[in-house]
Structure formats: structure tokens, C-alpha cells
Structure 1
Amino acid sequence: MVQKEVRLGFPAPSSGRLLPQSEMRYGSRMPLLRVLLVDDSPADRFLAQEVFSAHGGTVSLTLTESGDTALAHLNTPDAPLPDVLLLDLNMPGMSGLDVLTEVKQSPTLHHIPVVMLTTSHARLDIEAAYALQASGYLVKSSDFGSFLQQIEAFVTYWSGHLFALPALP
């Protein structure tokens, strides 16, 4: 039986096994923060990639352009799951709320924190996201400096809150 490590900001050995080096932050004993970003905008994905690249040794960023590709990625057998999902709200086809619903209804994915990252300030969107169990809601800053600060705060927060549930039998 495979068991995921319980991660509370430091690697917890499972049956005496330490996290593999590929899951550790460069030059540290801290686990690597795995983020899956889902955004249909190529410009926003590029901007996020630029901002997250400053955390190259501490963050592993995976990018997808739609809800369908994100769910396919998340449901790939034996693929490592992200520690947190950053999800755009307004996407063609499957909306961010649709993806959030699918993730939270899945027995294998429901434990993954989902943070909405969107331009929408609409109260109804915010309430809908939290009603569907979003872990957070970030309104994208319009300028690069502010967006950089948002991502810095996101990485700092989620790096200190890494949790994983035991694998299902």
C-alpha cells in the first residue's frame, strides 16, 4: 500500500522514508510546493509563469489552458497531485466553478485546496466559489508589481500549509 507523506511545512517520514530529493526545495529540507494553474488566457499564463519562476527552487508550476485539460491531468493515474490548484473563474467551455465542483465531488481530488484567481470582483462569483468549497479567492491585480506581491503572499501561505491525506486503500 502506497501512503502519501503528511506534510505540515516539513517532511514527515512515513515508515522511516524521507521525501525524495525531487520533492524537496533546493538547499532545504522543506517539501516542494506543487501548483496547478488553470487559465485560458495565454497572457495570464505567461505572466504567472514569469512570477512563479522567481520561486524555481521552491515551487513546481504546471500550466493548463482549460478545465477539461486540468481534470484530465488531475485524473492521470500515478501522476503526482498538486498541493494547491489555482483556478481562473471565467473560461470558455468548462468554467472555473464547474471545475471546482468536479474536484470537490471527486473522492480522490476533494482534499486539494482550490484558490480562485480571477479578475471578477462580483459578490455573486465570490459567494458561489466559497459555497462550492473554494479555499480562497484572489482578484488578479492589473499591474505586474501588485500581481508579484499577490503570488509572493500565495506561495508564502501555501508553503507553510502543505497537507496531504493518506492514500486510499
Structure 2
Amino acid sequence: MTLRVAVVDDNAMDRQLATEAFSEACPACTVDLFSSGPAVLSHLLTAEVLPDVLLLDLNMPGFSGFEVLTSLKADPRLAQIPVVMFTTSSASRDVAEAYALHASSYVVKAPSFHAFLDQVEAFVTYWQLNRVSRAGPGGA
């Protein structure tokens, strides 16, 4: 079974880098890109198949990653999706808030493409080995 990943980031360059990194690290992965919190929430609320994991940027205008995370965890169907905060912020208050809101993990984006690719490869390996099938509608 292929890994299904949703990436939410308002920065077009970061979405492009994610596309390139996932293409290289996991050509068989299904990667859906979203430019905002409302866009991913709208998609997930009607999606027949949910992602295995969601990579979520923290600092987005209008609807922050924290607000997206809160909305996901408030919906019984979407609360099952593991959420990895994938952001440039290394502030301890942001890390603490993410875990308080039930993020599965918190990763600070690497500054270079090579290091970013290493992060994506490690992410793919981890989630391919450790994902849990979800029962019910949209479950893998």
C-alpha cells in the first residue's frame, strides 16, 4: 500500500520543494498539496480516502497551523489523522502548543534542500513502517 500524505503550506516555494523531495524520496507516495488551512479542511471533510499523515506548516496567514490542528482534532473522523507540524519555528512555546493540541510530531524544516530531502526520506521511512490502518469510512 502506498503512503498518502497531505502537505499544507502557504508558501508556494515550500510546496514545490516538498513535491520535488517526495518525488525523489518516494515516487510511489500520493502527495496532495494545499495552500491554506481552509483548503485542506474543506477537502478532508468530503474526502472518501483520508491521508495516512498530514504535514502542517505552523505560520500561515488567516488560519494558522494551530487553528487547523484544533479543527482536525475536534472532528471525530479527522482526529484520527496523524499530524506532523513541519515548520521553520523552533520556539519552545510553539512546540509545547503543538503537542498540547495533539500533534503527533514537530519537525523544524531544514535550511538546505539536501537536508530537507533527508528529512523527507526519514519521514517516509518512519510512516511507511509505523502507520496504523484506520477502521471505518476513509480508513486505509
Tell me if TM exceeds 0.5: yes
Report the alpha carbon displacement of residue 81 of structure 1 after superposing the two structures with TM. Answer: 0.3
Q: Which residues in structure 2 correspond to 1:1-169 (within 5 Å)?
A: 31-54=1-24, 55-57=26-28, 59-78=29-48, 80-167=49-136
SS of the residue corresponding to residue 121 of structure 1 reads: coil
Instruction: Supply the RMSD in Å over aligned alpha carbons.
Output: 0.9
- 2:132 partner amino acid: F
Q: What SS is found at the alignment partner of 2:18?
A: helix
Q: CA deviation at 1:77?
A: 4.6
Structure 2 distance, partners of 1:33, 1:162, is 9
Structure with max Cα Rg: 1
TM-score, length-normalised on structure 1? 0.78
SS in 2 for 1:61: strand
Cα distance in 1 for residues equivalent to 2:55 and 2:81: 11
Q: How many residue pairs end up in the alignment?
A: 136
Question: Which amino acid is the alignment partner of residue 73 of structure 1?
Answer: H
Q: Structure 1: state its 5+ residue gaps.
A: 1-30
How far, CA to CA, are the matches of 1:39 and 1:116 in structure 2?
11
How far has the Cα of 1:85 moved from its partner? Answer: 0.4
Distance 2:135 2:30 in 1: 22
Q: Deviation above 2 Å: which 4+ runs of structure 1?
A: none
Identity %: 52
- Structure with bigger helix share is 2
1:15 counterpart residue number:
none
User: CA shift at 1:105, angstroms?
Assistant: 1.0
Q: Which residue does 1:8 correspond to in 2?
A: none
